[in-house]
Amino acid sequence: MNSIFVICEIEEGKVADVSLELMTKGRSLANELKCKLEALVLGHNLKGVEKELYPFGADVVHIGDDARLDPYTTLPHTSVIVELFEKEQPQIALLGASTFGRDLGPRVSSALQSGLTADCTSLVIGDHEDKKAKKEYKDLLYQIRPAFGGNIVATIINPDCRPQMATVREGVMKKEVYDAAYKGKVNKLDIDKMLKPEDLVVKVIERHMEKSKVNIKNSSIIVAGGYGVGSKENFAQLEELAHVLGGEVGASRAAVDAGYASHERQIGQTGVTVRPKLYIACGISGQIQHTAGMEESAMIIAINNDPNAPINKIADYVITGDLGAVVPKLIKFYKKNTK
């Protein structure tokens, strides 16, 4: 059976977390389908990169090491991937839903006329019957994602086109070493033969990368606010609570759209996925786009005016009341009980 490919992203000389998370997912899908898992890495100065990927269960690591592939630009990467995929015919290709994957994925899928599903929150193998065409499909990739503002969850399939392509955001899948002693093999790509002069027309003049100042992904306590917080000023109260508890402030998309919090704090399908020890949801109704990014929190406290807010259904504690009253009390009684 044809292989599963993970298109890996290089970040500061290393394989990005999101790519390793997809390797973990790709390995379990490959075991289920009894096929190979192959990684594809393009960039420059990649010596030894295969050693980062073998422990995640890579059977083959395709490496394209060339100065023209770093920094990343769309066209040379597309040309190399399209040529390789036409030869290798992968059944599934996964990539991170980062700016890299969301720039590259659609370009590759368009060139190959294959379907691409963005920002999947779950990937599973399943069958499909097309009753109209009386055709049966075995072992398709179900690409599951919230859509329509999170009001529905859609299962998308690509019955006829290959590869079945999907992007997944960082943090959605779990990164786990498959076997520290796992060994695959390297396939070095002849980049010179794969690039055309017209692939090199876009030039990166300057890159100014900075480490993200906000680190909600790794915070064990998150105080998140939604549209119900009501104003930027009220958000300051959440910041105080987060500060007192030693956590970070997060926000729902509605709160970010309303300008209460910056985009880098957004939690949910189109933001960051988090799994903290404690998640305090303040004035968040609980659209699935948001809950997809936090429902695996160990403990959830929901504070809401609306006793029927959907978020209450996944919360361990529900406090029905006004944020303006509840949040200061949380601060007060936390201080009282820790002194």
Partner 1 sequence: MGLKVIVLAKQVPDTRNVGKDAMKADGTVNRAALPAIFNPEDLNALEQALRLKDRYPGTEVTILTMGPGRAADIIREGLFRGADDGYLLTDRAFAGSDTLATSYAISCAIKKMNGVDLIIAGRQAIDGDTAQVGPQVAEKLGLPQVTYAEEVLSVDKDKMVIKRRLERGVETVEMPLPGVITVNASAPDCRPRNAKLTMKFKHAKTITERQGEAEDYIDMTADRPYLNIAEMSVNDIDSDAKWLGLTGSPTKVKKIENVVFQAKESKRLTPSDEEIDELMKDLIANHTIG
Residues 115-174 that bind partner 1 (CB under 8 A): 115-119, 128, 142-143, 146-161
Residues contacting partner 1: total by CB under 8 A: 93
CB 245 within 8 A of CB 277: no
Residue 253 neighbours by CB under 8 Å, 6+ apart: 266, 268, 270, 271, 287, 289, 290
Longest dimension (CA), the chain: 70
Ranges within 1-20 binding partner 1 (CB under 8 A): none
> Which C-beta is closer to partner 1: that of 58 or that of 294?
294
Q: Which stretch binds partner 1 (CB under 8 A): 37-45, 48-56, 179-187, 246-254?
A: 246-254
| Length of the chain (residues) | 339
DSSP 267: B
Q: Does 259 help bind partner 1 (rule: CB under 8 A)? A: no
Q: Which stretch binds partner 1 (CB under 8 A): 19-27, 59-67, 86-94, 315-323?
A: 315-323
Among 24, 266, 291, 304, binds partner 1 (CB under 8 A): 291
Minimum Å gap between C-beta 317 and partner 1 is 5
Three-class HEC string of 79-93:
HHHHHHHHHHCCCEE
> Which C-beta is closer to partner 1: that of 181 or that of 204?
204
Separation between Cα atoms, residue 112 and residue 109, nearest integer Å: 5
Ranges within 178-217 binding partner 1 (CB under 8 A): 201-212
> Which C-beta is closer to partner 1: that of 31 or that of 231?
231
> Which C-beta is closer to partner 1: that of 153 or that of 186?
153
Ranges within 89-108 binding partner 1 (CB under 8 A): 98-99, 102-103, 105-107
Report the SS3 class of residue 9. Answer: coil
DSSP 296: T
Ranges within 67-86 binding partner 1 (CB under 8 A): 71, 73-75, 78
Q: Which two tokens stand for residue 160?
A: 């006829």
Which amino acid, residue 123? L
> Which C-beta is closer to partner 1: that of 58 or that of 237?
237
Site of tokens 């040309």: 79
Among 67, 192, 233, 338, binds partner 1 (CB under 8 A): 338
Q: Does 298 help bind partner 1 (rule: CB under 8 A)? A: yes
CB 75 within 8 A of CB 148: no
> Which C-beta is closer to partner 1: that of 232 or that of 333?
333
At 135, which helix (H) or strand (E)? strand 135-147
Minimum Å gap between C-beta 71 and partner 1 is 8
DSSP 319: E
Minimum Å gap between C-beta 12 and partner 1 is 9
At 93, which helix (H) or strand (E)? strand 92-96
What's the Cα-to-Cα distance from 208 to each of 46, 145, 177, 204, 211, rounded to whole Å?
Answer: 21, 32, 32, 11, 10
> Which C-beta is closer to partner 1: that of 122 or that of 187?
122
> Which C-beta is closer to partner 1: that of 60 or that of 241?
241
Q: Which stretch binds partner 1 (CB under 8 A): 27-35, 36-44, 189-197, 281-289?
A: 281-289
